[in-house]
Amino acid sequence: MALLPVILALILGQLRLKPNFYELREYVPETLNGALSVVGLSCLFVFAVARIVANRLLDKIEAGEGDFQRIARLARLSRPILTLFVLSLYAFQMGFAGWGFLVESPDGGLGFAAGQLHEFVKAKGPLWAQWVVDREPAGFLLLVFNICAKYFLVFLPFLLMMLLSWAPMLNIDRFLRGSTWRMRAYLSFKLRNDILILLAPALLFQLIVDLMDNLKFTRFMSSGVYVPLFSTGVAMLVVYLLAPFLMVCIWVTRPFPAGALRDRLYAVCGRAGVKFRRLLIWDTMGGSVGNACVTGLMGPTRYILITDTLLQTMNDDEVEAVFGHELGHARFLHFPFFFEFILSMIFVSAAIRHLAGWLVQNHAPFWIPLDYYGDISTFLAMTLTVGVYFGIFFGMASRRFERQADIFGAFVINNVSAFSSALMKVARLNGAAPDTPSWRHYSIAKRIDFLERARTDPKVLAGFERELKILFIAFAALTALAVVFTVILELGII
């Protein structure tokens, strides 16, 4: 899952700058048609650049230049570069071209279209339609539709550019993974796995917050600080409970068939003391993707998923090892920590936003209009939060959580060799070099080496447990400081 690009896109999607930013009217589109032109040209530009990169990689493959690992490293390097290129163009669309502002503009965007449709139905629509639009339930449904349509249109350019950046890379992924993906299945899998799995819960969260704001659910609260805290808390709780079901709906899954392997995996669950709702096969639609995951806090909402590729390429001992790793995530409550982390990040971002707002208000250049101070301070705060707090701290925590799940998985099945073999197969299936780390995982080689040392030296595990304690203390202290600071500033104490 490409978490960081989606989070950055969500931040950029909050920008509502007018298209005459910096007063460069002759260079900035001032109508929705102009913004559409910018979006269309950006999509073509992304596709052209991705096609050039893919062709260069294919030429190296056909010419036999470099071994498999070298091609894999080049492909792994090209993907974040293309994603950064997409995000840069999306920032241009949202900032200079004013796409977000124009989508919501009451003079020519979605708000205008909704108003015109409402007036048309009331004036010329059939009697039943006129009766429906004047009723309270219909007003609520129209509000929900309007909010959903707004966010869909705001993020549509990003989705289109990402799809166009993936399409030329199909043959590269076929070579690296040995997959039989067709274009439609490939794009569907990438969209579900890399974007929708995070974008859908995020938009559900935003929908709930917007509904509570529009329907005045928080009107009984006297101080402004309690309104965002209340709506944020309710939205997080709803998303927290529904996220496991959303994930299962977004991914293509089917029940795990009865048999000796399923009985064996259920026995591992009994030894680990972990309960779950269902064990599912995660269909990769022809792609050789080796992965598994667990989602949900409690047994009634917890699902464990294993890709069809893992089941086809691993023996029962290796599948049991991967399953034990996922049970480790459930046993140590890593899934709820992710939502707690997001909630903590909201408070940290709010604290930074106040500081950024003060800096922008007191030290902003004269050529930045006053109307943009709020947007700019929010953008700076969220960017800094994601770049530092999420990009560094979450990556650090995630790598240690994966190591903790490795330890649990290897020792709950009492077979470190099978676990190491499973890790090597996962690397090969995903076209990754064993010595190459990622943002959320140590390298496969480093993970195997740690397990071998932990099996023979108790001091290794003791040192790792101290690391986790320090990490949790730092996380709790930072969150507490951010909450206190935000509440103090919102109440106007300082």
Q: Using CB atoms within 10 A of its CB, is residue 121 exposed (0-12), middle (13-18) or buried (19+)? A: middle
| Chain mean position to CA 283 | 20
Q: Which of 325, 279, 271 is nearest to 304 (CA)?
A: 279
The reported pTM is 0.80
Residue 278's H or E segment, with its range, is strand 278-282
Kindly list the domain boundaries of the chain, sorted by start residue.
Answer: 1-119+148-179, 192-251, 252-494
- How would you list the strands of the sheet with 292-295, edge to edge? 253-255, 278-282, 303-307, 292-295
Span 123-168, pLDDT tens digits = 776 766 666 556 555 566 777 777 787 888 889 999 999 999 999 9
Span 275-329, pLDDT tens digits = 888 999 999 888 778 888 888 878 888 999 999 989 989 999 999 999 999 999 9
Q: Which of 357, 471, 478, 439 is nearest to 7 (CA)?
A: 439
CA dihedral 154→157→163→165, nearest 10 degrees, is: -140
Measured CA to CA, the distance from residue 245 to residue 142 in angstroms comes to 25
Token pair of 162 as six digits: 């990402």
Span 425-480, pLDDT tens digits = 888 887 777 888 887 888 899 999 999 898 888 889 899 989 888 888 887 887 77
Amino acid present at 345: M
Dump the DSSP string for 365-412.
Answer: -TTS-GGGHHHHHHHHHHHHIIIIIIIIIIHHHHHHHHHHHHHHHHHH
* Angle formed by the axes of helices 334-363 and 373-384, nearest 10°: 140
